[in-house]
Amino acid sequence: MIKTYEANDIQVLEGLDAVRMRPGMYIGTTGLRGLHHLLWEIVDNGIDEAANGYASTIQVFLHRDNSVTVVDDGRGIPIGIHDTMKVPAVQVVFTQLHAGGKFNTEHYNYSGGLHGVGASVVNALSRWLEVEVHINGRKYWQRFESYEKDGKIHAGKPVTQLEDRGHTDFQGTKVTFLPDDRIFEDIQMRRDIISKRLKELAFLNKGIKLILVDESQEEIITNTFYYSGGLKDFVEYLNEDKSPIHPEVIYFEGEKDGIKSQIGIQYTDSYTESIFSYVNNIPTREGGMHETGFKTAVTKVLNDFIRKQNLYKGKNGGLTGEDFREGMTAVLSVKMHNVQFEGQTKTKLGNTEARSALESIVSENLQAYLEDIDNQQTLKVILEKAIKAAKVREAARKAKEITRKKNSLEGAPLVGKLASCTGRNPKTNELFLVEGDSAGGSAKQGRDRQFQAILPLRGKPLNVEKKRLDQVLANDEFRTIISALGTGIDEDFNINNLKYDKVIILADADQDGAHIRAILLTFFFRYMKELITEGHVYIGMAPLYKISKGSRVEYAYNDAELKAKVKEMGRGYSVQRYKGLGEMNPEQLWDTTMNPAKRSIVRVSIEDAAEAEKLVTILMGDKIDSRRQYITTYANFNKKDIFQEMGM
């Protein structure tokens, strides 16, 4: 029953060779992202099989030789002879680029039987790949290899025919491959990246069990992800460190025009919205049509209700969408065909049919939810929160107007503590936000006043997480920062007015310092996000130790450096541990921390909005325990690490 495959070789191999010539076109990069993309292509096939109800468990194994295995317990890739290719279908799956050749890094094989899309790309970019299909009580096996011979590329070539290897009691598909080190910079997959994604997939696909077995290290580590509640569990997880204001996650699902949608919502006492959306299990970080439809429906249905019940009479009509999303944590998951991605990072859903589908699914379900007697208590707290948000928004608008007028009238008094620089070039000027008056004093004396401005911060700044914009604006410390930067804030923020290229936070290397840094970052994150995304915010790194021997003086920024320097100096040295920036005199501060030629500063970036939001919440929120745990973990931190950890 297994026929020859030579007839198809030429055409097939041409296709796969192209993948090796331009891997970027198929998997984006040949760095870590692209490497893991290989795994996701294979895992997706198992997820599809499970989403269609034919498989329940998907296992991923990381082996010592850097090869990876994916196993599902589905129906098994068909092994019958393919009509036109005249070889077993499973061989076609691994050697034939998807028809149309339009395959790219986006997944569009949403559960509809398009199995195997992308599997051939994985094969082409692997040194070798083996597939084992367990079907009808028998086990079938085939191996593929990529090699170069006489200067020619042979990508993903079958080196055996599909072999019958005897009896099996298992049903499913097992694929093992070794990423090709001639293609990828690094072929070692990372457990943390994989478990994060598998966890996400388990949330998005309720009832599917995803297991990661890392056999690559001394100790075998197994993680199992399974959520019977799906999106409900996802929302609960996102709210773990927040304080929900109603007990149950609100959950809707529905299908319209072939678009399947699931929505989970829960409000917390926080003042920000966190909406996470997905299309075919792919995160849509830039949002798009599904989010728009969702937001429109929520605003409209809740506003209608408020109007009919006469619950609030605002000045200009109803509440805004933002009022209804204050404190909202929501996850949307949409499954559909012919997905169009748009936006700067191609993570924005462009299909307009998704907007109308979500709008009608959410409207209908939310309307029914409102009418259900069991939901009245939840409804009450949600509407009260939205109405309060509207009132505060009005108050904040007034407060902002006052601030603006005040600023334009008085201007200078607000920036009284600021020691500005003499140079007037915003492209080279720097603003140091310094913890404490004494360090601030040293910084003022030690700086290069041509381009360095100093703003000392007294005590701990106001914790912005728990405050609204009007309260933030009423705080002198923050008003001073806002006026110094010149950009305005929130909706009024304009990066073109920024007076400094670098805003450098200088705080002590202790818990209070960490707290101050986190508060300042939260403030920028919430109200001046572009300042971070455009790369203007930095963390200054002051040394922890001074090592001297005779007239020779060295500084160490962490314990490892201290060890190394001490060793290098030999006998007769003395070590001083700085307890804070305030212990440094002006020259020392300039030498170690401020002089651009010598200092090391870390740029703050927002890597992953989800994790950043979560960590900011941990650090700032009122769940004291998780915050203490977090800060204690990093009590003796290396600053570089803490901010990478924070995703910032």
Interacting residue ranges for ligand TTJ, rule: CB under 6 A = 42, 45-46, 49, 70, 72, 74-75, 77-78, 93, 115-116, 119, 173, 175
Q: Is 135 left (phi over 0), alpha (psi -120 to 50) or beta?
A: beta
- State the Cα–Cα distance between residues 382 and 245, nearest whole angstrom: 8
Relative orientation angle of helices 376-410 and 289-308, to the nearest 10 degrees: 100
Q: Which is nearer to ligand TTJ, 109 or 483 (CB)?
A: 109
Q: How many residues does the chain have?
A: 648
510 is catalytic: yes
CB 415 within 8 A of CB 483: yes
Q: In 278-375, which residue ranges form alpha helices assigned H by DSSP?
A: 289-308, 321-325, 352-371
Helix (H) or strand (E) holding 24: helix 23-27
Q: Which of 435, 470, 477, 554 is catalytic?
A: 435
Closest distance of CB 211 from ligand TTJ, Å: 13
3-state secondary structure of 278: strand
Number of CB atoms found within 10 A of residue 319's CB: 23
User: Per residue in 99-121, is it b (16+ CB within 10 Å) or e — as a string?
Assistant: eeeebbbebbbbbeebbbbbbbb
Comparison of 75 and 190: residue with beta carbon closer to ligand TTJ: 75
Q: Least CB distance from residue 77 to ligand TTJ, whole Å?
A: 4
Secondary structure letter of residue 97 according to DSSP: P
Count of Cβ atoms closer than 10 Å to residue 18 Cβ: 17
Q: Which is nearer to ligand TTJ, 136 or 309 (CB)?
A: 136
Dihedral-angle region of residue 66 (phi above 0 means left; psi in -120 to 50 means alpha; beta otherwise) = left
The phi, psi pair for 8, rounded to 5°, reads: -95, -5
- Amino acid, res. 228: S
Q: Tell me whether residue 78 or residue 423 sits nearer to ligand TTJ (CB atom).
A: 78
Nearer to ligand TTJ among residue 77 and residue 231 (C-beta) = 77
Instruction: Say if residues 461 and 485 touch (Cβ distance below 8 Å).
Output: no
Helix (H, G, I), strand (E, B) or coil at 283: strand
Active site residue 512: yes
For residue 434, which of 424, 419, 448 has the smallest C-alpha distance? Answer: 419
CA–CA dist 244, 269 (Å, integer): 6
Selected catalytic residue, list 510, 530, 622, 645: 510
Number of CB atoms found within 10 A of residue 236's CB: 18
Question: Tokens 């960490």 appear where?
Answer: 514
Q: Which of 352, 358, 390 is closest to 265 using CA atoms?
A: 358
User: Looking at beta carbons only, is 123 or 442 nearer to ligand TTJ?
Assistant: 123
Pick the catalytic residue from 508, 554, 591, 613.
508
- Distance separating alpha carbons of residues 52 and 73, to the nearest angstrom: 12
119 or 541: CB nearest ligand TTJ: 119
CB 456 within 8 A of CB 506: no
Residues 451, 427 contacting (CB under 8 angstroms):
no
Report the 10 Å Cβ neighbour count for 586: 15
- Asked if 460 and 516 touch (Cβ cutoff 8 Å), the reply is yes
- Residue 585 burial (CB count, 10 A): 11
Of 52 and 375, the one with the shorter C-beta distance to ligand TTJ is: 52
C-alpha–C-alpha distance, residues 358 and 253, integer Å: 10
- The CA distance from 264 to 244, in Å, is 13
Distances (CA, A) of 302 to 144, 159, 371: 57, 62, 12
One of 106, 286, 512, 611 is an active-site residue; which one? 512
Min dist CB 590 to ligand TTJ, Å, is 59
Which is nearer to ligand TTJ, 124 or 298 (by Cβ)? 124
Rounded Cα gap, residues 97 and 15, in angstroms: 6
Residue 23 to residues 12, 116, 125, 361, Cα–Cα distance (Å): 17, 18, 8, 40
Q: CB of 49 within 8 A of CB of 74?
A: yes
Instruction: Give the count of alpha carbons within 13 A of 54, CB side only.
Output: 19
Residue placing its CB nearer to ligand TTJ in the complex, 150 or 169: 169
CB of 173 to ligand TTJ, least distance (A): 4
- Return the active site residues: 435, 508, 510, 512
